[in-house]
Amino acid sequence: MADLSVNICGIESPNPFWLASAPPTNTGAQIVRAFDAGWGGAVWKTLGDPIENVYSRYSSVDMNGQRMMGFSNIELITDRSLEINLIEIAEVKRRYPENVVVVSLMVDSNPDAWDTIIKQVEQAGADAIELNFGCPHGMSERGMGSAVGQVPEYTCDITGWAKESATVPVFVKLTPNITDIRVAARAAKTGGADAVSLINTINSITGVDLDSFTPRPVVGRMSSHGGYSGPAVKPIGLNMVASIAADPFTEGLPISGIGGIATWQDVAEYILLGATTIQVCTAVMHYGYRIVEGMAEGLSNYLDSKGMASVNELRGLSVNKVVDWQDLDVNYIVKAEIDQDKCIHCGLCYIACYDGAHQAIGVEYKDDETKVWIIDDLCVGCNLCSLVCPVQGCIEMVERDHGQTHMSWNDYLSDEKPGELYPRPKHGLTIGPT
């Protein structure tokens, strides 16, 4: 089996699977169960001045039978005393010295407050601290959380204060509620951060009760914006992790990837885009700690199939495959092809292409059956038909060898072109069958 152990900021972890700072890491007893299940590390639920939470505090977005496709919360940091948390941190580290315990922190924006709590959690045995600059609700109204993470100067200054106090590595947890995540990561690195964690949750309202007119979750007769997580946010997390991994200014800055992770495939994607460890919350809240077993087995088998002896060989292999749009090859051509033997004649591809794309699918209704085919001259290879087709493998996107050389958009606009531009389809809207 492949070696799943990783080293991040000098911290050895038995595997890259960590729990994110959230309800699943609220108590020492929970983290003990998680470590017994196979998690390599855990980020303790954010410590600070204990607060009072509200009832209720969670809501979700379901789609096509999938529960909690998106998940929102208005829960704040720990509501348990600092003293109790410190005792439990020490006990967990005593019992599980090989597992990683990172402690998430959030206090007022002054050096003394950070110095005090950092020294307390270090004395309890924390392997690292994570500065929570990402909470988008509740704490941000108090000048903490994303109110810090959205201002690069604050991010840099507070990270600097933490580094002056800490003797263990300092992670900075970044908010996605920002125009360019790279700016925040650069500020964290300038302040001395040893690593960054991302993404925290996204500002959201998941829906509105159409009878009471109150958004969810409902607290009395009111609601509030919350933090969105779950499978729906994974594409945003992947993009932001890749942005930091590819940024020359933050090159080499270790990343702990967060956002919509539930399977070994999700883990592999984050690592391919530059993450060293990953953090999971919503999937554990949905399915429990034992999902890590499938993650470990699946990732190990995948690495074996790729001939990789260690998960570290996978890290970052996809980073240089993400380029700016103008660097893409505009002469690369794919066209859709339909396997008529697999087609169930639902006509969905035709409807999608005709109403939502490039009118490149022909249709014939005969004997209560819908026959479809690709109009090759009009097909622009947009993929929409293959994405909406309910039958796996029925519509494939096939590369065409047209003999043209690679040409980027910048090449196309320059005076010295490397070759000719592949002829584009000339569309003219026609009236389709009734």
Residues marked active site are found at: 135
Burial class (CB in 10 A: 0-12, 13-18, 19+), 13: buried
DSSP 194-252: SEEEE---EEE---B-TTT-PBSSPBTTB---EEEESGGGHHHHHHHHHHHHH-GGGTT
DSSP 8-state symbol, 357 = S
Q: Looking at the DSSP assignment, which residues form a beta bridge with residue 372?
A: 363
CB 226 within 8 A of CB 306: no
Classified as helix, coil or strand, 62 is strand
CA distance 394 to 381: 15
Classified as helix, coil or strand, 362 is strand
DSSP 8-state symbol, 109 = S
CB 255 within 8 A of CB 196: yes
Residue showing tokens 């592999």: 268
* Dihedral pair phi/psi, residue 425, rounded to 5°: -60, 140
**Element of type H or E holding 104:** strand 100-105
Going through 254-405 in order, the beta strands assigned E by DSSP cover 255-258, 277-280, 334-338, 361-366, 369-374, 395-399
Rg of the chain over all Cα atoms, to the nearest angstrom: 25
Q: What angle do CA 373, 374, 380 make, to 5 degrees?
A: 160
Closest CA to 391 of 347, 329, 354: 347
Q: Looking at the DSSP assignment, which residues form a beta bridge with residue 263?
A: none
